[in-house]
Amino acid sequence: MATANPTTLPDDPKLRGDVVLDEQTGGREPLVRGDYTFHDITERVLAVNEKPIAQTPSPFKFGIALAAAGFAMFGGYVGYLIWEGPGIWGNNTPVAWAWDIVNFVFWVGIGHAGTLISAILYLFRQKWRTSINRYAEAMTIFAVLAAGSCVVLHTGRVWMDYYLFPIPNQMGLWPNFRSPLEWDVFAVNTYLTVSLLFWFTGLVPDFATLRDRATVKWRRLFYGILSLGWRGSMRHWVTYEKAYQILAGFSAPLVLSVHTIVSFDFAVSQLPGWHTTIFPPYFVAGAIFSGFAMVLTLMIPAREWLGLKDLVTVKHIENMNKIILVTGSMVGYAYGMEFFVAAYSGNQYEGFTFINRAGGPYWWAYWIMMTCNVITPQLFWFKKFRTNVKLTFVLSIFVNIGMWFERFVITVTSLHRDALVSSWDYFVPVTEVLFLTGTFGLFFFLFLLFIRFFPVMAMSEVKGVMPQANPHWEGYQHGQHGHGASGAVPAGAVAQKDL
């Protein structure tokens, strides 16, 4: 049992008995702060989910009302778009791709952090992923849905979208399998399917916990269906761990493949500014960059409001900031390399495109991108800034803005100066702002529902990285009664322990 009420713990780590550098954690900072028992973790994580509907906190109600309004607006906008067609956008020759594709690439990119955290960090035994992976996976799925709605709607005649799939038909018509846009359909669908399965598999034991603790019938039924008859037997855990590992193996290549194929949408064409072989690695780095920024943007307020600061510690934020620094620098290198290649190739069209990008009519977009993606993340070289939560929050939003502008710069500035000077044009959005806002409404609506009804952390995994899960755990050092070493290790911790 808990010795102290977790909600009244003092802020000073020393006062509340944190083990800052402990041999139990191999000399590293512990991933879970505070002197919690396993049961405390369950209570903490499920506190949000188990509040009766009538007692939903008002900030949450306000948030979900706002998101629902955005989502409803999106519904209306989609109706308007289908009725009128893409003529309600500013797209026109030569800028035939603009915010529709920019938003798509933006959202798909954001999804990548979830897969990276859940699959690659899992396979590399990075224990710090445990308290953020569920959250990031949910973000992935909702971001892919937002991205999907952009592409599905940008076709104009949305009722013909089934042509994207190779369905046998009496016309003898098939999609163009040589087109990267078709590869995109498969890449994004695979990505959504695997991410959804991965997310759901991880959720099953936690749903079962919610089911077993449910006090009202609808919760028992709702979580009962979702937990698929999970009883927590050893055999269940063994199967679960295998399934989880297999899905992690499936997902890992997707981190690289999906955005590679998205980059092919551009790179396979012959337009100067798009026709570049560095696009795949550059896009993947950018995707992880933007995804981690979005995780931080969502996580920092959430850990504050949900009272999970001890489970998502400054250590987690610092680790994510390091990834932002690395991927941000990779993206910066790619920006530089594009200019170098344009100069070194001696191709005047390529050269013009890049000079025009930085100094042409859209210079402002380029420099917003450079500032937010390359310059400001460099602050994270310093530990002082990396561990500053408020600054991290601001910079993560900067990265989100910068990465949106990166896609805008690539798409629009490459197109607006056609090969024929008489076609040159300056793209101005008309109603597209509502489109982007609407996808945010969709995203946040789903995300807030997720926070309210699904466990935001994989409880068994978090328990697995606590010192108590270590077989050599000597008992609570501060003399509290409660769980000893034996028998307290949840089955989910077994895999983690072995890592």
* Beta strand residue intervals within 7-110, DSSP E: none
User: Is residue 160 a contact point for other proteins (CB under 8 A)?
Assistant: no
Question: Which one of the spans 2-10, 219-227, 306-314, 461-469 is the region binding other proteins (CB under 8 A)?
Answer: 219-227
Question: Which one of the spans 42-50, 78-86, 164-172, 416-424 is the region binding other proteins (CB under 8 A)?
Answer: 164-172
User: Is residue 173 a contact point for other proteins (CB under 8 A)?
Assistant: yes
* Closest CB 170 distance from other proteins, rounded Å: 4
Question: Which one of the spans 64-72, 77-85, 217-225, 400-408 is the region binding other proteins (CB under 8 A)?
Answer: 217-225
Q: Which residues, in sequence order, are CB contacts of 120 under 8 Å at separation 6+?
A: 252, 255
- Smallest CA-to-CA distance from 131 within 142, 121, 141 is with 121
User: Is residue 212 a contact point for other proteins (CB under 8 A)?
Assistant: yes
User: Is residue 171 a contact point for other proteins (CB under 8 A)?
Assistant: yes
Q: Which is nearer to other proteins, 172 or 479 (CB)?
A: 172
* Closest CB 205 distance from other proteins, rounded Å: 16
* Closest CB 224 distance from other proteins, rounded Å: 4
| Strand (E) or helix (H) holding 286 | helix 279-305
User: Is residue 176 a contact point for other proteins (CB under 8 A)?
Assistant: no
User: Is residue 407 a contact point for other proteins (CB under 8 A)?
Assistant: no
Residue type, 467: P
* Closest CB 220 distance from other proteins, rounded Å: 5
Can you tell me the distance from the alpha carbon of 92 to that of 428, in angstroms, rounded to the nearest whole number?
Answer: 10
Question: Which one of the spans 66-74, 169-177, 241-249, 440-448 is the region binding other proteins (CB under 8 A)?
Answer: 169-177
Residues paired with 157 in a beta bridge: none
* Closest CB 215 distance from other proteins, rounded Å: 12
Question: Which one of the spans 105-113, 222-230, 290-298, 303-311 is the region binding other proteins (CB under 8 A)?
Answer: 222-230
SS3 for 32? Answer: coil
Q: Which is nearer to other proteins, 228 or 246 (CB)?
A: 228
User: Is residue 75 a contact point for other proteins (CB under 8 A)?
Assistant: no
Q: Which is nearer to other proteins, 14 or 217 (CB)?
A: 217
Q: Rg of the chain's alpha carbons, rounded to an integer?
A: 24
Using left for φ > 0, alpha for ψ between -120 and 50, and beta otherwise, residue 228 falls in left
Q: Which is nearer to other proteins, 173 or 355 (CB)?
A: 173
Report residue 181 as tokens. Answer: 């846009």
User: Phi/psi at 117 (nearest 5 deg)?
Assistant: -65, -45
Residue with tokens 């199967």: 239
Q: Select from 39, 127, 220, 275 the one that contacts other proteins (CB under 8 A).
A: 220
The separation between the first and the last C-alpha atoms of the chain, rounded to the nearest angstrom, is: 28
Q: Which is nearer to other proteins, 13 or 232 (CB)?
A: 232
User: Is residue 419 a contact point for other proteins (CB under 8 A)?
Assistant: no
Residue type, 485: A
Q: Which is nearer to other proteins, 59 or 229 (CB)?
A: 229
Q: Which is nearer to other proteins, 26 or 172 (CB)?
A: 172
- Smallest CA-to-CA distance from 378 within 325, 322, 320 is with 325
User: Phi/psi at 95 (nearest 5 deg)?
Assistant: -90, 80
User: Is residue 315 a contact point for other proteins (CB under 8 A)?
Assistant: no
User: Phi/psi at 495 (nearest 5 deg)?
Assistant: -60, -45
Q: Which is nearer to other proteins, 222 or 339 (CB)?
A: 222
Report residue 470 as tokens. Answer: 């270590």
Give residue 294's Cα distance to chain centre.
Answer: 6
Q: Which is nearer to other proteins, 26 or 168 (CB)?
A: 168
Q: Which is nearer to other proteins, 233 or 423 (CB)?
A: 233
Q: Which is nearer to other proteins, 196 or 397 (CB)?
A: 196
Q: Select from 224, 441, 455, 492 the one that contacts other proteins (CB under 8 A).
A: 224
With the C-alpha atoms ordered 401, 137, 316, 250, is the resulting torsion angle positive or negative?
A: negative
Question: Which one of the spans 5-13, 162-170, 353-361, 381-389 is the region binding other proteins (CB under 8 A)?
Answer: 162-170
Residues paired with 95 in a beta bridge: 92
Can you tell me the distance from the alpha carbon of 106 to that of 100, in angstroms, rounded to the nearest whole number?
Answer: 10
User: Is residue 167 a contact point for other proteins (CB under 8 A)?
Assistant: yes
Q: Which residues inside 228-257 make contact with other proteins, applying CB under 8 A?
A: 228-229
User: Is residue 22 a contact point for other proteins (CB under 8 A)?
Assistant: no
Q: Which is nearer to other proteins, 235 or 472 (CB)?
A: 235
- Smallest CA-to-CA distance from 468 within 9, 144, 41, 15 is with 41
- Smallest CA-to-CA distance from 286 within 375, 380, 185, 407 is with 407
Q: Select from 26, 27, 52, 168 the one that contacts other proteins (CB under 8 A).
A: 168
- Smallest CA-to-CA distance from 60 within 451, 397, 393, 458 is with 451
User: Is residue 221 a contact point for other proteins (CB under 8 A)?
Assistant: yes
User: Is residue 85 a contact point for other proteins (CB under 8 A)?
Assistant: no
Report the helix count and the strand count for the chain, using DSSP H and E: 18, 0
User: Is residue 170 a contact point for other proteins (CB under 8 A)?
Assistant: yes
DSSP assignment string, 421-458: GGG------SSHHHHHHHHHHHHHHHHHHHHHHS-SS-
Can you tell me the distance from the alpha carbon of 344 to that of 333, in angstroms, rounded to the nearest whole number?
Answer: 16
The residue ranges that bind other proteins (CB under 8 A) are 167-173, 211-212, 220-221, 224, 228-229
